[in-house]
Protein backbone atom coordinates (compact mmCIF):
# COMPACT_ATOMS: atom_id res chain seq x y z
CA UNK A 1 0.00 0.00 0.00
CA UNK A 2 1.28 3.45 -0.91
CA UNK A 3 2.09 5.43 2.22
CA UNK A 4 -0.05 8.46 3.08
CA UNK A 5 2.23 11.44 3.72
CA UNK A 6 0.91 13.47 6.66
CA UNK A 7 1.79 16.94 7.92
CA UNK A 8 0.81 17.57 11.56
CA UNK A 9 -0.18 21.17 12.37
CA UNK A 10 -0.62 21.89 16.08
CA UNK A 11 0.78 24.53 18.44
CA UNK A 12 0.88 22.21 21.49
CA UNK A 13 4.29 20.57 21.87
CA UNK A 14 2.86 17.70 23.94
CA UNK A 15 -0.08 16.98 21.65
CA UNK A 16 2.09 17.30 18.55
CA UNK A 17 4.54 14.73 19.94
CA UNK A 18 1.69 12.29 20.73
CA UNK A 19 0.32 12.65 17.20
CA UNK A 20 3.68 12.19 15.51
CA UNK A 21 4.74 9.22 17.68
CA UNK A 22 1.43 7.38 17.42
CA UNK A 23 0.74 8.02 13.72
CA UNK A 24 4.28 6.91 12.85
CA UNK A 25 3.49 3.45 14.25
CA UNK A 26 1.14 2.76 11.32
CA UNK A 27 2.81 1.18 8.28
CA UNK A 28 0.65 3.03 5.75
CA UNK A 29 1.30 6.50 7.25
CA UNK A 30 4.45 8.59 6.93
CA UNK A 31 4.60 11.75 9.04
CA UNK A 32 6.67 13.99 6.77
CA UNK A 33 6.86 16.85 9.23
CA UNK A 34 5.05 19.20 11.57
CA UNK A 35 4.13 22.86 11.78
CA UNK A 36 3.72 24.89 14.96
CA UNK A 37 1.19 27.34 13.49
CA UNK A 38 -0.63 28.18 10.26
CA UNK A 39 2.13 30.40 8.90
CA UNK A 40 4.68 27.65 9.52
CA UNK A 41 2.35 25.25 7.69
CA UNK A 42 2.08 27.60 4.70
CA UNK A 43 5.86 27.52 4.36
CA UNK A 44 6.22 23.77 4.78
CA UNK A 45 3.38 22.45 2.62
CA UNK A 46 5.09 23.25 -0.73
CA UNK A 47 8.37 21.74 0.49
CA UNK A 48 7.00 18.58 2.14
CA UNK A 49 4.14 17.96 -0.32
CA UNK A 50 1.86 16.04 2.11
CA UNK A 51 -1.14 14.02 0.96
CA UNK A 52 -3.14 14.92 4.10
CA UNK A 53 -2.87 17.65 6.75
CA UNK A 54 -4.09 17.25 10.33
CA UNK A 55 -5.05 20.70 11.56
CA UNK A 56 -5.75 22.12 15.00
CA UNK A 57 -8.63 24.59 14.69
CA UNK A 58 -7.69 26.84 17.60
CA UNK A 59 -4.17 28.20 17.01
CA UNK A 60 -2.37 31.50 17.71
CA UNK A 61 -1.58 34.05 14.98
CA UNK A 62 -3.94 32.53 12.40
CA UNK A 63 -6.68 30.06 13.31
CA UNK A 64 -7.50 26.97 11.31
CA UNK A 65 -10.55 28.50 9.60
CA UNK A 66 -8.66 31.50 8.24
CA UNK A 67 -5.80 29.21 7.23
CA UNK A 68 -8.19 27.05 5.19
CA UNK A 69 -9.74 30.09 3.52
CA UNK A 70 -6.27 31.26 2.47
CA UNK A 71 -4.79 27.87 1.52
CA UNK A 72 -7.61 26.01 -0.22
CA UNK A 73 -8.05 28.25 -3.28
CA UNK A 74 -4.28 28.16 -3.91
CA UNK A 75 -3.48 24.56 -2.98
CA UNK A 76 -6.46 22.30 -2.24
CA UNK A 77 -5.40 19.58 0.17
CA UNK A 78 -7.36 17.02 2.21
CA UNK A 79 -7.49 18.36 5.77
CA UNK A 80 -8.65 16.45 8.85
CA UNK A 81 -9.46 18.78 11.74
CA UNK A 82 -8.41 17.95 15.27
CA UNK A 83 -10.88 19.92 17.35
CA UNK A 84 -12.39 20.37 20.78
CA UNK A 85 -16.18 20.50 21.14
CA UNK A 86 -16.57 23.79 19.30
CA UNK A 87 -18.98 25.21 16.72
CA UNK A 88 -15.98 26.51 14.74
CA UNK A 89 -15.45 23.00 13.36
CA UNK A 90 -18.44 23.52 11.06
CA UNK A 91 -17.01 26.80 9.77
CA UNK A 92 -13.80 24.92 9.00
CA UNK A 93 -15.71 22.17 7.18
CA UNK A 94 -17.48 24.88 5.19
CA UNK A 95 -14.06 26.32 4.31
CA UNK A 96 -12.97 23.01 2.77
CA UNK A 97 -11.83 20.57 5.49
CA UNK A 98 -12.78 16.96 4.75
CA UNK A 99 -13.60 15.72 8.26
CA UNK A 100 -12.82 16.13 11.95
CA UNK A 101 -11.90 14.16 15.05
CA UNK A 102 -12.59 15.35 18.57
CA UNK A 103 -9.55 15.99 20.76
CA UNK A 104 -9.32 13.50 23.64
CA UNK A 105 -8.53 13.98 27.29
CA UNK A 106 -4.78 13.41 27.48
CA UNK A 107 -5.17 11.94 30.98
CA UNK A 108 -7.24 8.98 29.74
CA UNK A 109 -5.14 6.46 27.81
CA UNK A 110 -8.20 4.67 26.45
CA UNK A 111 -9.54 7.97 25.10
CA UNK A 112 -6.22 8.67 23.37
CA UNK A 113 -6.19 5.18 21.83
CA UNK A 114 -9.72 5.60 20.47
CA UNK A 115 -8.85 9.07 19.16
CA UNK A 116 -5.76 7.81 17.31
CA UNK A 117 -7.71 4.91 15.82
CA UNK A 118 -10.42 7.27 14.57
CA UNK A 119 -7.86 9.79 13.27
CA UNK A 120 -6.01 7.08 11.33
CA UNK A 121 -9.30 5.95 9.77
CA UNK A 122 -10.18 9.48 8.73
CA UNK A 123 -6.69 10.18 7.37
CA UNK A 124 -7.09 7.11 5.15
CA UNK A 125 -10.49 8.35 3.93
CA UNK A 126 -9.18 11.89 3.40
CA UNK A 127 -6.33 10.59 1.25
CA UNK A 128 -8.86 9.51 -1.41
CA UNK A 129 -11.35 12.36 -0.90
CA UNK A 130 -12.37 14.94 -3.49
CA UNK A 131 -11.43 18.28 -1.92
CA UNK A 132 -13.90 21.15 -2.16
CA UNK A 133 -13.06 24.76 -1.37
CA UNK A 134 -15.35 27.51 -0.15
CA UNK A 135 -14.79 29.22 -3.52
CA UNK A 136 -15.99 26.08 -5.31
CA UNK A 137 -19.14 25.96 -3.21
CA UNK A 138 -19.91 29.62 -3.90
CA UNK A 139 -19.47 29.10 -7.61
CA UNK A 140 -21.91 26.20 -7.76
CA UNK A 141 -25.26 26.93 -9.34
CA UNK A 142 -28.19 26.19 -7.09
CA UNK A 143 -31.03 24.90 -9.23
CA UNK A 144 -34.43 25.66 -7.79
CA UNK A 145 -37.96 24.75 -8.79
CA UNK A 146 -41.38 26.13 -8.02
CA UNK A 147 -42.47 26.36 -4.40
CA UNK A 148 -43.72 23.15 -2.84
CA UNK A 149 -47.46 22.66 -3.03
CA UNK A 150 -49.08 22.13 0.34
CA UNK A 151 -51.24 19.02 0.25
CA UNK A 152 -53.04 16.87 2.76
CA UNK A 153 -50.60 14.08 1.91
CA UNK A 154 -47.67 16.11 3.31
CA UNK A 155 -48.36 14.71 6.79
CA UNK A 156 -48.01 11.12 5.57
CA UNK A 157 -44.70 11.59 3.72
CA UNK A 158 -41.34 11.04 5.43
CA UNK A 159 -37.98 11.99 3.89
CA UNK A 160 -34.86 10.18 5.15
CA UNK A 161 -31.30 11.38 4.46
CA UNK A 162 -28.09 9.51 5.24
CA UNK A 163 -24.53 10.84 4.94
CA UNK A 164 -20.98 10.50 6.23
CA UNK A 165 -17.70 12.16 5.16
CA UNK A 166 -18.51 15.45 3.41
CA UNK A 167 -22.15 15.14 4.44
CA UNK A 168 -22.40 18.12 6.78
CA UNK A 169 -22.10 20.58 3.89
CA UNK A 170 -23.86 18.39 1.29
CA UNK A 171 -26.90 17.96 3.53
CA UNK A 172 -26.94 21.71 4.22
CA UNK A 173 -26.94 22.33 0.46
CA UNK A 174 -30.11 20.23 0.16
CA UNK A 175 -31.92 21.53 3.24
CA UNK A 176 -31.32 25.24 2.69
CA UNK A 177 -33.11 24.99 -0.67
CA UNK A 178 -36.27 23.43 0.78
CA UNK A 179 -39.29 25.51 1.86
CA UNK A 180 -40.78 25.55 5.36
CA UNK A 181 -43.72 23.34 4.35
CA UNK A 182 -41.55 20.39 3.24
CA UNK A 183 -42.67 17.03 4.75
CA UNK A 184 -40.80 15.88 7.85
CA UNK A 185 -37.14 14.98 7.31
CA UNK A 186 -34.96 12.55 9.30
CA UNK A 187 -31.16 12.83 8.96
CA UNK A 188 -28.51 10.36 10.06
CA UNK A 189 -25.05 11.90 9.72
CA UNK A 190 -22.03 10.03 11.07
CA UNK A 191 -20.83 12.41 13.78
CA UNK A 192 -19.66 12.20 17.43
CA UNK A 193 -21.95 13.00 20.39
CA UNK A 194 -22.22 16.71 21.15
CA UNK A 195 -21.44 17.79 17.61
CA UNK A 196 -24.84 16.65 16.31
CA UNK A 197 -26.59 19.15 18.60
CA UNK A 198 -24.33 21.98 17.43
CA UNK A 199 -24.80 20.89 13.82
CA UNK A 200 -28.58 20.98 14.20
CA UNK A 201 -28.40 24.44 15.78
CA UNK A 202 -26.26 25.67 12.89
CA UNK A 203 -28.69 24.29 10.28
CA UNK A 204 -31.63 25.77 12.15
CA UNK A 205 -30.18 29.25 11.57
CA UNK A 206 -29.57 28.65 7.87
CA UNK A 207 -32.70 26.76 6.75
CA UNK A 208 -36.37 27.64 6.37
CA UNK A 209 -37.35 24.41 8.15
CA UNK A 210 -36.95 23.92 11.90
CA UNK A 211 -33.88 21.76 12.57
CA UNK A 212 -33.16 20.08 15.90
CA UNK A 213 -31.24 17.17 17.35
CA UNK A 214 -33.76 14.36 17.73
CA UNK A 215 -34.99 13.32 21.16
CA UNK A 216 -36.76 10.07 21.86
CA UNK A 217 -40.46 10.54 21.12
CA UNK A 218 -40.11 13.61 18.88
CA UNK A 219 -42.96 13.95 16.41
CA UNK A 220 -42.20 13.92 12.67
CA UNK A 221 -44.16 16.77 11.11
CA UNK A 222 -43.94 18.95 7.98
CA UNK A 223 -41.46 21.78 8.41
CA UNK A 224 -39.23 19.88 10.86
CA UNK A 225 -35.82 18.21 10.39
CA UNK A 226 -34.61 15.79 13.07
CA UNK A 227 -30.88 14.96 13.27
CA UNK A 228 -29.93 11.60 14.83
CA UNK A 229 -27.93 12.07 18.08
CA UNK A 230 -24.26 11.19 17.72
CA UNK A 231 -24.45 8.22 20.09
CA UNK A 232 -27.87 6.71 19.26
CA UNK A 233 -29.67 4.96 16.44
CA UNK A 234 -32.75 6.84 15.21
CA UNK A 235 -35.76 4.84 14.02
CA UNK A 236 -39.12 5.89 12.63
CA UNK A 237 -42.21 4.67 14.50
CA UNK A 238 -45.92 5.23 14.04
CA UNK A 239 -48.91 5.58 16.33
CA UNK A 240 -52.19 5.82 14.44
CA UNK A 241 -51.67 8.36 11.68
CA UNK A 242 -48.75 10.11 13.39
CA UNK A 243 -45.02 9.49 13.00
CA UNK A 244 -42.48 9.67 15.83
CA UNK A 245 -38.80 8.82 16.26
CA UNK A 246 -37.24 6.42 18.69
CA UNK A 247 -33.64 7.22 19.65
CA UNK A 248 -31.63 4.69 21.64
CA UNK A 249 -27.99 3.62 22.02
CA UNK A 250 -27.06 0.31 20.47
CA UNK A 251 -24.36 -1.79 18.88
CA UNK A 252 -22.84 -0.44 15.69
CA UNK A 253 -24.69 -1.40 12.51
CA UNK A 254 -22.77 -1.31 9.22
CA UNK A 255 -19.90 0.03 11.33
CA UNK A 256 -21.76 3.00 12.77
CA UNK A 257 -23.97 4.31 15.55
CA UNK A 258 -26.04 6.14 14.47
CA UNK A 259 -26.45 4.01 11.35
CA UNK A 260 -28.08 5.07 8.10
CA UNK A 261 -29.19 1.48 7.49
CA UNK A 262 -31.08 1.48 10.80
CA UNK A 263 -32.92 4.68 9.83
CA UNK A 264 -33.68 3.58 6.26
CA UNK A 265 -34.87 0.11 7.32
CA UNK A 266 -37.28 1.63 9.85
CA UNK A 267 -38.65 4.06 7.24
CA UNK A 268 -39.10 1.19 4.78
CA UNK A 269 -41.04 -0.77 7.41
CA UNK A 270 -43.18 2.08 8.76
CA UNK A 271 -43.73 4.61 5.94
CA UNK A 272 -43.20 2.19 3.05
CA UNK A 273 -44.14 3.92 -0.24
CA UNK A 274 -44.94 7.21 1.49
CA UNK A 275 -41.26 8.04 1.77
CA UNK A 276 -38.19 9.35 0.00
CA UNK A 277 -34.67 8.09 0.70
CA UNK A 278 -31.57 10.17 -0.09
CA UNK A 279 -28.05 8.78 0.27
CA UNK A 280 -25.20 11.26 0.29
CA UNK A 281 -21.39 11.38 0.26
CA UNK A 282 -19.45 9.02 2.54
CA UNK A 283 -17.03 6.13 2.74
CA UNK A 284 -18.29 2.56 3.04
CA UNK A 285 -21.71 1.04 2.47
CA UNK A 286 -23.87 2.20 5.39
CA UNK A 287 -27.33 2.99 4.05
CA UNK A 288 -27.07 1.14 0.75
CA UNK A 289 -28.99 -1.97 1.85
CA UNK A 290 -31.50 0.15 3.74
CA UNK A 291 -32.11 2.32 0.68
CA UNK A 292 -32.72 -0.77 -1.43
CA UNK A 293 -35.20 -1.94 1.20
CA UNK A 294 -36.98 1.44 0.95
CA UNK A 295 -37.10 1.21 -2.83
CA UNK A 296 -38.56 -2.30 -2.69
CA UNK A 297 -41.32 -0.95 -0.43
CA UNK A 298 -42.22 1.73 -2.99
CA UNK A 299 -40.11 4.68 -1.84
CA UNK A 300 -38.54 7.14 -4.27
CA UNK A 301 -34.75 7.06 -3.90
CA UNK A 302 -32.02 9.57 -4.76
CA UNK A 303 -28.24 9.12 -4.71
CA UNK A 304 -25.65 11.88 -4.77
CA UNK A 305 -23.55 11.83 -7.94
CA UNK A 306 -19.86 10.96 -7.99
CA UNK A 307 -18.79 14.41 -9.20
CA UNK A 308 -20.37 16.21 -6.24
CA UNK A 309 -19.30 13.74 -3.52
CA UNK A 310 -16.32 14.31 -1.26
CA UNK A 311 -16.18 10.49 -1.04
CA UNK A 312 -18.22 8.47 -3.55
CA UNK A 313 -18.64 5.37 -1.42
CA UNK A 314 -22.09 4.98 0.12
CA UNK A 315 -23.94 6.35 -2.95
CA UNK A 316 -21.81 4.17 -5.26
CA UNK A 317 -22.62 0.97 -3.36
CA UNK A 318 -26.30 1.94 -3.30
CA UNK A 319 -26.27 2.56 -7.04
CA UNK A 320 -24.42 -0.69 -7.77
CA UNK A 321 -27.02 -2.80 -5.94
CA UNK A 322 -29.93 -1.06 -7.69
CA UNK A 323 -31.11 1.05 -4.75
CA UNK A 324 -30.93 4.44 -6.51
CA UNK A 325 -33.77 5.56 -8.78
CA UNK A 326 -32.25 8.99 -9.56
CA UNK A 327 -28.64 10.15 -9.26
CA UNK A 328 -27.83 13.86 -9.11
CA UNK A 329 -25.35 16.45 -7.79
CA UNK A 330 -26.22 17.57 -4.26
CA UNK A 331 -26.95 21.06 -5.65
CA UNK A 332 -29.84 19.61 -7.68
CA UNK A 333 -31.31 17.20 -5.12
CA UNK A 334 -33.63 19.78 -3.49
CA UNK A 335 -35.10 20.65 -6.88
CA UNK A 336 -35.59 16.98 -7.81
CA UNK A 337 -37.17 16.30 -4.41
CA UNK A 338 -39.61 19.21 -4.78
CA UNK A 339 -40.58 18.10 -8.28
CA UNK A 340 -41.29 14.59 -6.98
CA UNK A 341 -43.33 15.83 -4.02
CA UNK A 342 -45.37 18.18 -6.23
CA UNK A 343 -46.49 15.17 -8.32
CA UNK A 344 -47.93 13.32 -5.31
Q: Which residues are catalytic?
A: 164, 190, 286
Per-residue three-class SS string for the chain: CCCEEEEEECCCHHHHHHHHHHHCCCCCEEEEEEECCHHHHHHHHHHHCCCEEEEECCCCCCCHHHHHHHHCCCCCCCEEEEECCCCHHHHHHHCCCCEEEECCCCCCHHHHHHHHHHHHHHHHHHCCCCCCCHHHHHHCCCCCCCCCCCCHHHHHCEEEEEECCCHHHHHHHHHCCCCCCCCCEEEEECCCCCHHHHHHHHHHHHCCCEEEECCCCCEECCCEEEECCCCCEEEEEEECCEEEEEEECCCCECCECCCHHHHHHHHHHHCCCCEEEEECCECCCCCHHHHHHHHHCCCEEEEECHHHCCCECHHHHHHHCCCCCEEECHHHHHHHHHHHHHHC
**Whole-number Cα distances in Å, 291 to 81, 253, 306:** 30, 14, 17
Amino acid sequence: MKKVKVLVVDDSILFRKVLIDRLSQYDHIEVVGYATDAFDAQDKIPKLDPHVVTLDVEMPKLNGIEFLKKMMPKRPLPVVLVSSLNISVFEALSAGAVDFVRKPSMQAQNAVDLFISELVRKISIASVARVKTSNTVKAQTIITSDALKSTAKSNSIVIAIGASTGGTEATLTVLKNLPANTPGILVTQHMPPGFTKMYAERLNKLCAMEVKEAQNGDKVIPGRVLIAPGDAHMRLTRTGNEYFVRCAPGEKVSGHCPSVDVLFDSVASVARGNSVGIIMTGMGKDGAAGLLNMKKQGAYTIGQSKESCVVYGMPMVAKNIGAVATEAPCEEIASILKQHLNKL
